[in-house]
Structure formats: C-alpha cells, structure tokens
C-alpha cells in the first residue's frame, strides 16, 4: 500500500465515523417537526377562538337588533321590559348544542325563557320569567351538586356583573353560568332599552375542535419521537457498516488509473472530486454516486446521463472521458475539469450583466443545445447552475453546459421508463409551461424556454417568476406573462434583445423560436452584438478573476503536483457500459 493510500485509509475511516453524526440531523429534524406542529396548533387555536368570538358577538348583535325593531314598532314607545316580555318575541338564535341567548334587566333577572328553562325546576331554580336572577352557584348544578349558600347570597355571574355595570365584553377562557356550567360568552348592555343581552356556549363545546387538534399533535409527537429513535439507531448501524465497507475498499484502491486529489463539489446524485489520470496527467473531474443514495433507478439514471452526454462533442458541452465501476461497485465517470463558476454564483457576485456579454454567453449555450437537439436529446434542466462560465486554453468566458442527468432522448422509450411516465422533472423557476402540464410532451422548445429564462436572469439578476412555492410557480409559469426585463432592472435594455428573450418565454411552444439556431440568429440581429468579445472577456478576468479565485477556489481546480492525493481508484473495465 502506498503512503498516500495509507493516509487515505485513515481519512475514509474518519469520514465514515462522521457519517454516524447523522443522528444529530435526525434529532434536529424531529425537533423542527415538533416546533412546526406546535406553531400550527397555536395558529389554528387562535383562529378557532376568533371564530367563536365572532359567532357569539353576532348572536348578541342579532338579538339587540331584534329588540330595537320590536321597540320601534310599538306605538308611543313601550318600556323595554314589556317589549321583551311580549309573547311575540323569538330569541335571535343560538349556536351548537349548548349555546343560549339571554336577556336580563339591571337586577340581572332573566326576562325571557331561555334554552334550558325546562331544566330549571330539576336544578332547583325558579321557573317563572322575571324571578330567575343570573347568579354563580359555584358548582355545576347539572351534575347534581347544590350550592352551600342561599341563592340570594350568591354573587352574580361574571357576565351579569359586568353587563349590569354597563361594561360590554367577551370571555373565551370560561366562567360559570347561572347553571354553574363553564361557558364562553359575549355580552352588551343596551342602555337605550335598559336591558342586557348575552350569548353563551359551554366551554367544552367551544374548545372541542382545539382538543381534537391537541390530541392529533400529541400523536404526531409520539410518531416523530419513534421515527427519530429509529433513525438514530439506523444511522449508527449504517455508520458502522459504512466504515467496514470503506476500509475494505481502501485496500483495493492503492493502484489504478485515477488519483483523487480533493473534493471540489457535490450534486444531487453524487460527489465530484478533482483527479488525475495515471498516464495522461491531465486534470479530471470524477463524479461518484453516493453509496447511501444508491438504488437501481438512480444507477440507471446516472449511467444514462453519462451515455447521453458522451455522445455530445461540442466544445460548449462538458466532455466525458470515461465511466465505469470501482471494484467495490461504486459507479463513477470521469469528465472534463472546469475552471469556472456557475452563472447563478457569477451573477450573484457581479450583478446583472451587460447586453453584449449576455448575447455572448447565450449564443454559446445555443451552440451546445443545437448539437444535443440535433441528436434528439432534450436537456430538461437548463438553468444558471448548469451553465458554467470558464477560462480554458487561454480563452475566457467560455460556456460549458453540464448536468445532463434529466436528459431525454425523444427517439427512445427508455427515457420515459427511467424518469417515470408523467414525471415532472426540472427546476420550477426555469421550467416551460408544458413541462408542468404535459411532462411527456417536452421537446427542444422547452429548452428554448428555459434558455430565455436564463437570459432574463442574466439581464436582471432575477428569474422571470419567483413564487415561494411550487404551486405559485405553476400558476405563474402556466398563466402569467413575465414582466419585461426593462421594467425589472434599472439598467436600460434595448428592445431587440428584450423581444428575443420574451419570445422564448411564450406560453405556446409554437410561438417560440423553432430551434436553438433560430434563437441564435435572433441574437445576431441585436444591436448589442459585438459589444463583448474575447479581448474584453480576457481583460475582465484579469481585473476581477482573482476575487472569484479567492471565493470559489478556481485556481485550486487547476492541476498541481503538490496536490495531496486522497486515494487511487482502480477501474473495472468489465463494468464499463457502451457509450
């Protein structure tokens, strides 16, 4: 075993140990779910309280309005007590199974039969109207209990005490009614009629939905805790197994064709390492499939990405050198090592680009896509992150289109089987409407839409649509027209380039440029064409490239013999597919 291989064995063991720390993420995720669940519970509870308050106040207002109508309809005016004691009075309403509307005078005497009049005798209370005063018995009379004091010695209910003092209010936390039942209520004193009106509902009924939600939240906490515990156990077991696997593989990786130098990136399916070939000595990027995310469908997709991309030879498309499997079964491919940065990060650093530079970049992407579309391949994930701005071979602002992981061969049914029929794939901010509505119908014009969205981003620093959720983006992408770039940025944008960009963003594919070449020809008619060229690009990188080098480590991606070797990977020729 080489010295570098021995050192790598220790490094891999350390990484395997760190993998076990995944249980921390599991616990944090569990706590986050619990916190979000509690926030939802509190939000719904507050909403229910607001609903109960509104319902009670509505009953009070309705009863008050009815009483005022009764009063105004009596010739010469009739005292309020006479009005509400009349036989033609009907209570304004009640809510739920226990809601009750009460009308009472200044002495807190109930002036009209209530909802529970038929129970008064059984509860030991006066049955006749005008004799029952609203007092707090201190106990729940409906349970058979009776107060120790005479009723005349009991205090008024909280509602009656405040209302007869002329103080309107709402109490959703609960107080005892004249029957001793805990209730929530709202009340008002009608000074023009000399009576009070109240609406009450049993607190158990008012809070029933919240209690159901609380029980559901308790069940959620239990499930989350069980899942978190299982996750921690699984993480520990996986870490131990991963250590053993990687220790065994490291012994077999002391000789081979590729030497991994350092990790330089990480994607959705794999990790990317700076590497070199044992004989060619050229800088190479090695992409490895993550062992902890391996599934048959993932491997098929990963291998298909390599096979499809290896068919492309245009200099603006990342070049694939080799692919296969390690002796341990890890799938990999070797590709051109890019010394550059994604357009998303680039624009994030320097801001919106001048029109000439945007045209310079978009024309190169068109050239890459033209080759792919000519072979019947649709990228399906054109976005700033998948377009690198590089310096290579003494040239600057060289575009490289990468990550053909979602590529679809329009001439093959295998792509549909791998991706899943009707599967929505891509990045929502840059997806064409048909990719949302009819995923199986995407074609080269869908890439044109995405490229137009990239051009919009380069000019303004923002995508055409920026909904916070997939649903919002779906509605925007399928129904709304994007704002012209000139209205989004303070920089002036010539109409010809703006028209070309917006033509790509048409909802109807038939109204977009028919091909990448057609879009490139439209760009060539723009007046800003030629304002950016290789000399200006070279000057810009000399002036500003050091800042990007320092932040993104671009210089470290160029090959150096002093780079510390992580490991040597042996290639299994039998594992290589047909490109």
Contacts of residue 31, defined as CB under 8 A and 6 or more positions apart, other chains included, come to none
Cα–Cα distance between 139 and 469 in angstroms, integer? 53
Contacts of residue 577, defined as CB under 8 A and 6 or more positions apart, other chains included, come to 303, 306, 307, 323, 324
* Distance, C-alpha 297 to centroid of its chain: 25
The residues with which 287 forms a beta bridge, in sequence order, are 272, 333
The residues with which 568 forms a beta bridge, in sequence order, are 259
3-state secondary structure 271-308: EEEEEEECCCCCEEEEEEECHHHCCHHHHHHHHHHHHH
CA 504, 509, 512, 514 torsion: positive or negative? positive
Exposure of 493 by Cβ count < 10 A (0-12 exposed, 13-18 middle, 19+ buried)?
A: buried
* Distance, C-alpha 539 to centroid of its chain: 41
Instruction: Per-residue pLDDT tens, the chain, 579 aa: give them.
Output: 333 344 444 444 444 444 545 567 777 777 787 787 778 777 777 888 888 888 889 889 988 888 888 777 555 444 444 545 444 454 545 567 888 899 999 998 888 777 776 777 677 776 555 567 889 999 988 888 888 888 888 999 999 999 999 999 999 999 999 888 999 999 999 998 899 999 999 988 888 787 777 777 778 788 877 877 777 777 777 777 776 666 555 433 432 477 888 888 776 666 788 888 777 777 888 888 766 666 767 777 777 777 877 889 999 999 888 887 777 667 788 888 888 899 999 999 999 999 999 999 999 999 999 999 999 889 889 999 999 999 888 899 999 998 775 555 544 444 333 344 344 456 889 999 998 898 888 899 999 999 999 999 999 999 999 888 889 999 999 999 999 999 999 899 999 999 999 999 999 999 999 999 999 999 999 999 999 999 999 999 999 888 888 887 665 554 443 334 444 444 443 444 433
Cα–Cα distance between 537 and 398 in angstroms, integer? 9
Instruction: Say which CATH topology domain 255-337+571-579 has.
Output: Phosphorylase Kinase; domain 1 (3.30.200)
Kindly list the distances between the CA atom of residue 378 and the CA atoms of 186, 410, 415, in Å, as whole numbers in the listed order.
65, 7, 11
**Long-range contacts, stretch 24-32, CB < 8 angstroms, 24+ apart:** 26/228, 26/231, 26/232, 26/235, 27/228, 27/232, 29/228, 30/224, 30/225, 30/227, 30/228, 30/231
Both tokens of 394, joined, read: 């003494």
CA atoms within 13 A on the CB side of 46: 5
Please check whether the domain covering 340-558 is classified as CATH 1.10.510.10: yes
Give the SS3 label for residue 381.
coil
User: What beta strand segments (E) does 362-507 contain?
Assistant: 377-378, 387-392, 395-401, 408-409
Instruction: Say which CATH topology domain 71-205 has.
Output: Beta-Lactamase (3.30.450)
3-state secondary structure 95-145: CCCCCEEEEECCCCEECCCCCCHHHCCCCCCCCCCCCCECECCCCCHHHCC
The residues with which 189 forms a beta bridge, in sequence order, are 196
334's enclosing H/E stretch is strand 331-336
C-beta separation of 461 from 347 below 8 A: yes
Cα–Cα distance between 125 and 116 in angstroms, integer? 11
C-beta separation of 426 from 379 below 8 A: no
C-beta separation of 390 from 558 below 8 A: no
Q: What is the DSSP letter of 412?
A: -
Indicate the pTM of the whole model.
0.54
Residue 425 has a pLDDT of 53
Both tokens of 224, joined, read: 């989350």
195's enclosing H/E stretch is strand 195-202
Kindly list the domain boundaries of the chain, sorted by start residue: 71-205, 255-337+571-579, 340-558
C-beta separation of 53 from 168 below 8 A: no
Q: What is the DSSP letter of 354?
A: P
Q: Which residue has the tokens 């077999």?
A: 252
Contacts of residue 184, defined as CB under 8 A and 6 or more positions apart, other chains included, come to 52, 56, 171, 172, 173, 174, 200, 201, 203, 206
Both tokens of 53, joined, read: 């308050």
C-beta separation of 139 from 180 below 8 A: yes
Residue 499 has a pLDDT of 97
Q: What is the DSSP letter of 481?
A: P
C-beta separation of 361 from 458 below 8 A: yes
C-beta separation of 263 from 569 below 8 A: no
C-beta separation of 129 from 112 below 8 A: yes
How far apart, in Å, do the first and last CA atoms of the chain sit? 33
């Amino acid at each position: 075993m080489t010295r570098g291989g021995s050192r790598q064995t220790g490094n891999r063991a350390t990484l395997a140990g760190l993998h076990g720390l995944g249980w921390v993420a599991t616990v944090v995720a569990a706590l986050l779910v619990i916190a979000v669940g509690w926030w939802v519970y509190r939000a719904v509870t507050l909403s229910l309280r607001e609903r109960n308050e509104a319902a009670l106040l509505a009953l009070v207002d309705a009863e008050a309005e009815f009483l005022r109508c009764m009063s105004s309809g009596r010739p010469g005016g009739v005292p309020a007590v006479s009005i509400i004691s009349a036989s033609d009075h009907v209570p304004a309403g009640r809510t739920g199974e226990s809601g009750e509307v009460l009308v009472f005078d200044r002495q807190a005497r109930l002036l009209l039969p209530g909802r529970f009049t038929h129970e008064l005798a059984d509860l030991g209370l006066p049955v006749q109207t005008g004799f029952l005063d609203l007092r707090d018995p201190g106990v729940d009379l409906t349970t058979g209990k009776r107060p120790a004091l005479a009723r005349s010695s009991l205090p008024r209910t909280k509602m009656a005490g405040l209302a007869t003092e002329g103080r309107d209010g709402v109490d959703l936390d609960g107080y005892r009614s004249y029957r001793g039942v805990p209730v929530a209520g709202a009340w008002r004193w009608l000074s023009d009629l000399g009576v009070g009106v109240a609406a009450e509902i049993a607190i158990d009924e008012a809070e029933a939905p919240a209690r159901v939600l609380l029980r559901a939240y308790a069940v959620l906490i239990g499930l989350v805790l069980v899942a978190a515990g299982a996750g921690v156990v699984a993480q520990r077991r996986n870490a131990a197994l991963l250590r053993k696997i990687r220790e065994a593989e490291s012994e077999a990786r002391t000789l081979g064709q590729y030497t991994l130098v350092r990790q330089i990136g990480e994607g959705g399916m794999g990790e990317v390492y700076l590497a070199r070939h044992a004989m060619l000595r050229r800088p190479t990027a090695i992409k490895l499939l993550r062992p902890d995310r391996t599934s048959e469908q993932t491997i098929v997709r990963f291998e298909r990405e390599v096979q499809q991309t290896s068919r492309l030879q245009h200099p603006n498309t990342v070049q694939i050198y080799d692919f296969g499997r390690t002796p341990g079964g890890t799938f990999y491919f070797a590709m051109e090592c890019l010394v550059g940065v994604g357009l998303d990060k680039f624009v994030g650093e320097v801001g919106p680009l001048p029109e000439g530079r945007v045209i310079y970049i978009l024309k190169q992407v068109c050239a890459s896509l033209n080759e792919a579309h000519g072979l019947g391949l649709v990228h399906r994930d054109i976005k700033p992150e998948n377009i690198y701005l590089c310096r290579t071979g003494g040239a600057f602002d060289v575009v490289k289109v990468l990550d053909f992981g979602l590529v679809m061969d329009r001439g093959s049914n295998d792509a549909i089987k791998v991706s899943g029929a009707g599967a929505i794939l891509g990045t929502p901010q840059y997806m064409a409407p048909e990719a949302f509505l009819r995923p199986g119908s995407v074609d080269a014009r869908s890439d044109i839409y995405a490229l137009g969205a990239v051009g919009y981003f380069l000019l303004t620093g923002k995508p055409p649509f920026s909904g916070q959720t997939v649903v919002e983006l779906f509605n925007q992408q399928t129904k709304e027209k994007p704002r012209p770039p000139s209205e989004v940025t303070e920089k002036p944008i010539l109409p010809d380039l703006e028209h070309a960009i917006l033509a790509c963003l048409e909802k109807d594919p038939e109204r977009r440029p028919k091909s990448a070449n057609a879009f490139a020809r439209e760009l060539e008619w723009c007046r800003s064409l030629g304002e950016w060229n290789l000399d200006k690009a070279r000057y810009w990188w000399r002036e500003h490239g050091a800042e990007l080098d320092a932040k993104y480590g671009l210089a470290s991606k160029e090959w150096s013999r002093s780079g510390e070797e992580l490991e040597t990977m042996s290639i299994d020729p039998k594992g290589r597919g047909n490109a």
